[in-house]
């Protein structure tokens, strides 16, 4: 007597269902949103630094302004590196299923 609940065995790993394709697309979109969030953070830090420079009462905070500018550039750099790393992994995984 055959058990109907028995696992039929591993599926062909090269076949992806529509659900799998959509999951990969959602992951790519999430990766893009994350990169854009890092870019937005970097720009906000940079703009905050520029606004501190424009306020004459806060001229003593030049070291903080420099740190904010550096943090802005670092945030954008981290976002780009993360985007490229995850994008490369996604492409490698998707290519393995073609």
Burial (CB < 10 A; 0-12, 13-18, 19+), residue 72, is buried
In-domain check, residue 53: yes
In-domain check, residue 84: yes
In-domain check, residue 43: yes
Smallest CA-to-CA distance from 39 within 88, 91, 83, 89 is with: 83
In-domain check, residue 55: yes
Higher confidence at residue 95 or residue 20? 20
Burial (CB < 10 A; 0-12, 13-18, 19+), residue 42, is buried
Predicted pLDDT of residue 9: 42
pLDDT digits (tens, 9 = 90+) for 12-65: 455 778 888 888 889 999 999 999 999 999 999 999 999 988 887 887 888 999
Gap between the Cα atoms of 28 and 34, Å rounded: 10
Number of domains in the chain: 1
Domain around 87: 18-96
């Amino acid at each position: 007597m055959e058990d109907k609940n028995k696992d039929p065995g591993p599926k062909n790993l090269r076949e992806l269902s529509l659900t799998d394709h959509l999951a990969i697309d959602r992951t790519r979109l999430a990766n893009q949103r994350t990169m854009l969030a890092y870019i937005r953070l970097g720009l906000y830090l940079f703009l905050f630094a520029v606004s501190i420079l424009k306020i004459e009462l806060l001229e003593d905070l030049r070291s903080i302004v420099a740190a904010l500018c550096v943090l802005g550039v670092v945030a954008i750099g981290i976002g780009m590196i993360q985007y490229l790393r995850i994008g490369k992994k996604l492409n490698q995984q998707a290519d393995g299923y073609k």
